[in-house]
Structure 1
Amino acid sequence: MDLTSLLKPSAVKVVGKITSKKRLFQDLGEIAAASYGIDFNNAIDALQERESLGPTGVGHGIALPHARLIGLKTVVGAFVRIESPLDFDAVDRQPVDLVFALFAPVDSGVEHLKALALVSRTMRDPAICAKLRSNSDAVTLHAVLTEGPNTQAA
């Protein structure tokens, strides 16, 4: 598993400002629907349900929302860079500007965990985050995310 198999170029977006977590989840739902054929409402509901268990803002301006969906065949991702950071109830109370969402099949088990670990490892890399924050072109952001040593799961 690598990030090129998880993240389509069309699933990467830059937005100026998002006013709430709910609006962010709507944007992620739109990306998931357009890029992977995932039902828009199911994606939003699943993200909100998972978030109600505890915030997925992991610190340093990064959020990793994730959800399991009925009918999905493989783990897929969506990435959003927010130009005006959003209050996300992150563990370090810092606003979030880099969001990598994962959608996984309900029965994905270890594949979901491997994908989450891969994304987490990638997003913990300060050099990758610096490149992501300094670019506003979705094609460039996709290239940054899918190149480099951390883009493959064990």
Structure 2
Amino acid sequence: MLPSIFVVLAFLVLSTYSYRSETGSQTYVEVITIDDIAKLKLNEGAEFIPLTRDLENRGLISYKIGQRVPNDRLVSRVSDSIYWNVPQNVQLRVEYPSKGIGAVVSFVECNVNQSSENGRAYIISGGYGQRNICFVIEAFSTFWFNYDCTIWGK
């Protein structure tokens, strides 16, 4: 019983963490797996803003919003790779900044590699032209989930 508790605790520690960007502001990142797709709904009744989705190659998906502007800079970058033995429904939540006031967001790009092509991304608060952004990326029935998200701002 003790080893299984350790595995659960280790998963919780590894699946929720915070990154510190080069500029000193923090970006909060949370990755969870959910066995029931219906539970992936956040903020029931809220209006979500979808990110543009480009399927580049099998399993490689690029989600974007906004555009680069003169004199903007990279304010945050988060990335990780996670693998499972059985397919998972995955939800990645990225929040910039995790505290305080951030740069004015000009462009967000998240490149995701997963074993399935099923997924979506949407903003749940803040966004382009604002000093904060919180967005969610969901992947369904995937054996792996690799992400690299960059946030540009001024």
Taking structure 1 as the reference length, the TM-score comes to 0.28
Taking structure 2 as the reference length, the TM-score comes to 0.28
Q: Which has the larger radius of gyration?
A: 2
Greater fraction of residues in strand: 2
